[in-house]
């Protein structure tokens, strides 16, 4: 299965995200969506599992969970924004969700792919929304992950046009 992973859109869905996600089977959004219409646009491409982030308002908080758990090709995925753990590291999130095969998070705006010795992985796709002046050195990005039963999930970061 091919997954499109994004976070921190903050009300802006860049057109290249829809192009990159054009052939995905599932989309995971790790919070700070910003505008419910973003989820509708993503759902036109593929099914979406999303969580709310710390800057999402009441409309999204009523619609989305803080943490989502799902199985994909036999792997346990946990999706969270991560803000409940401060400025989380992959190790923080693995400690919080020890049974997860894949932990998807956002909040830091910093793209991260971290492989653990047990073959589990933490993925932060970076921020897919508008450039953040406070973090101007971080380019906007998303992630693509591929899963296949019995093979550890593989992911890559895809930089977006600035």
Tens of pLDDT, residue by residue over 84-116, are 999 999 999 999 999 999 999 999 999 999 999
- Is the pLDDT assigned to residue 4 strictly greater than 70? yes
34 neighbors 56 (Cβ within 8 angstroms): yes
Tens of pLDDT, residue by residue over 10-64, are 999 999 999 999 999 999 999 999 999 999 999 999 999 999 999 999 999 999 9
Q: What percent of the chain has pLDDT over 90?
A: 92
Per-residue confidence band for 138, with pLDDT thresholds at 50, 70 and 90: confident
80 neighbors 91 (Cβ within 8 angstroms): no
Q: Residue 93 is encoded by which pair of tokens?
A: 């999130």
Beta strands in the chain (DSSP E): 2-6, 26-29, 48-50, 67-72, 75-80, 102-104, 112-115, 121-124, 141-148, 151-159
Q: Residue 85 is encoded by which pair of tokens?
A: 């753990």
pLDDT recorded at residue 134:
65
DSSP bridge partners of 113: 123
Domains of the chain with CATH codes: 2-159 (3.60.21.10)
- pTM summary value: 0.96
pLDDT recorded at residue 135:
60
Give, for 156, the enclosing helix (H) or strand (E): strand 151-159
Q: DSSP readout, 46-72? A: S-EEE---TT--HHHHHHS-SEEEEEE
* Phi–psi pair at 115, nearest 5 degrees: -95, 135
């Amino acid at each position: 299965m091919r997954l499109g992973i994004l976070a921190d859109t903050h009300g802006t869905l860049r057109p290249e995200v829809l192009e990159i996600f054009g052939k995905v089977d599932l989309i995971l959004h790790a919070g700070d969506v910003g505008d419910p219409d973003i989820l509708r646009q993503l759902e036109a491409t593929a099914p979406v599992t999303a969580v709310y982030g710390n800057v999402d308002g009441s409309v999204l908080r009523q619609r989305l969970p803080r943490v989502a758990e799902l199985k994909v090709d036999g792997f346990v995925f946990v999706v969270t924004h991560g803000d409940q753990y401060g400025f989380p590291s992959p190790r923080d999130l693995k400690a919080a969700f020890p049974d997860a095969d894949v932990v998807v998070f956002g909040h830091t705006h910093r793209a991260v792919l971290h492989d653990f010795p047990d073959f589990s992985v933490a993925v932060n796709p970076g921020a897919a929304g508008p450039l953040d002046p406070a973090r101007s050195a971080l380019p906007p990005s998303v992630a693509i992950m591929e899963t296949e039963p019995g093979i550890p999930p593989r992911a890559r970061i895809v930089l977006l046009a600035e």
